[in-house]
Amino acid sequence: MILVTGGAGFIGSNFILDWLAESDEPVLNIDALTYAGNTENLASLAGDDRYVFVRGDVCDRPLLDSLFATHAPRAVVHFAAESHVDRSIHGPAEFIRTNVEGTFTLLEAARSHWSNLPDAERQAFRFLHVSTDEVYGTLARDDAPFCETDTYEPNSPYSASKAASDHLVRAWHHTYGLPVVTTNCSNNYGPFHFPEKLVPLMIVNALARKPLPVYGDGLQVRDWLYVKDHCAAVRLVLARGQIGATYNVGGWNEKPNLEIVGTVCALLDEMQPHPDGSYAHLITHVPDRPGHDRRYAIDARKIERDLGWRPAETFESGLRKTVRWYLDSADWLARVQTGAYRQWVSANYDQRGA
Ligand code: NAD
Ligand code: TYD
């Protein structure tokens, strides 16, 4: 079986659903169920004996040791993290704990398990670390997209904590020989995305006829990838990635935030028109995020050349599926907008006047 961490979050739950749709190899999911973890994402796996869930913290070494001993996974796919830049600005401590200390603890538990395996199993073992393009810092308008050899220049507490975790993973390979691979992916969007990030927040606010809060001038650029394309890349890197290597994963799809929000509004206008007119009238510019990175862009040629991966979805097809999913998932959306969610929205947006 494989051990997945953070599998109740956005990307992890998509990964587990896709994994079990494509293979019969069981999955052990360890997730602390923070505000971002939601077992409802995996409700369709109820009664499926290929899926085991354990509520637990990646900083809990005794728990990790017992899970490795009991289940003897052949690989680890490490998604668990605090993942939201704005939250990292409001409270960085949890980012250091989960992303740095948690990755360290998981590496140590994996190393202990791996080093006691018989030869063939030791060679086949993999530790796949899921990371972000944000570790590379920000790009000027005409800079070349990030490639795997670029210098790390993280700018937010989130990206700094992910950069630190990437360095630990690298060091555990170089020092101890742990067979690791790392992926650095661009911004994902798709089903089960918690509505604190740009795309789902805009959908949720638009449906509630609330302002659509665009930070600053809205011309910051991100590279957007449909989540299931990211999951396919992770599966491929796990199967065929070169030990010790890193792979940049991106959609070849750079867009300014205003265009993303405009496209979300246009899709909603088409799929669920409102009598008061276009959702785009709700777009509101609000004060910018401190230290806001201006542009991210991924050069994904290495994973294409070495492993044959390319995104299957275009931005248009992926975003259309995403908006459709949110329109069809009103109950899911209502249930994730708990009191804690409303508190976060108030903490992040009230001071911005949105
Ligand atoms: P998410 O915030 O939706 O989910 C994170 C999951 O980790 C949640 O289920 C949460 O309960 C769990 N978790 C948090 N702390 C934990 C702990 N201490 N122990 C165990 N579980 C814990 O995040 P996501 O968007 O699904 O991102 C998954 C991974 O992919 C992260 O490592 C992130 O850095 C990386 N990534 C995300 C994106 C993106 O656009 N979302 C892009 C590139 C890389
Ligand atoms: P986000 O989804 O938080 O991802 P990241 O910061 O990791 O790239 O934000 C994507 C972009 O959208 C980023 O430039 C910040 C911007 N943004 C807004 O303009 N308004 C918002 O309310 C949010 C959440 C993000």
Q: Could you tell me if the CB of 130 is within 6 A of ligand 1?
A: yes
Beta-ladder partners of 222? 255
Nearest to 185 by CA among 232, 244, 243: 232
Question: pLDDT digit string (tens) for 303-315?
Answer: 999 999 999 999 9
Question: Choosing from 158, 279, 296, 326, which is the catalytic residue?
Answer: 158
Task: Quote the CA–CA distance of 273 and 267 in Å, as a whole number.
Answer: 9
Tell me the pLDDT tens digit for each residue of 15-38.
999 999 999 999 999 999 999 999
Residue in 60, 62, 66, 98 with CA at minimum distance from that of residue 80: 98
Task: Say which CATH architecture domain 2-189+225-251+292-312 belongs to.
Answer: 3-Layer(aba) Sandwich (3.40)
**Residue 166 CB–ligand 1 contact under 6 Å:** no
Report the pLDDT averaged over residues 280-298. Answer: 98
Ligand 2 neighbours (beta carbon < 6 A): 85, 187, 197-198, 201, 213-215, 220, 222, 257, 289
* 210 residue type, one letter: K
- Domain limits of the chain? 2-189+225-251+292-312
CA of 38, closest atom in ligand 1:
9
Q: What integer is the mean pLDDT of 329-345?
A: 95
Q: How far apart are CA 28 and CA 51, in angstroms?
A: 6
Element (H, E) at 131: strand 126-132
Of 31, 133, 166, 299, catalytic: 133
Return the percent helix, strand and coil in the chain, to nearest 5: 50, 15, 35
In this predicted model, what pLDDT tens digit does every residue of 124-154 receive, in sequence order?
A: 999 999 999 999 999 999 999 999 999 999 9
Buried/exposed code over 180-207 (b: 16+ C-beta within 10 A; e: otherwise): bbbbbbbbbbbbbbbbbbbbbbbbbbbb
Task: Assess whether 25 carries a catalytic annotation.
Answer: no
Q: Which ligand is nearest to the CA of 285?
A: 2
Check pocket membership of 184 for ligand 1, CB cut-off 6 A. no
pTM assigned to the model: 0.98
pLDDT tens, position by position, 152-191: 999 999 999 999 999 999 999 999 999 999 999 999 999 9
215 Cα nearest atom in ligand 2? 19
Q: State residue 353's pLDDT score.
A: 84
User: What is the C-alpha to C-alpha distance for residues 267 and 261, in angstroms, rounded to an integer?
Assistant: 10
Distance CA 58, CA 169 (A): 15
133 is catalytic: yes
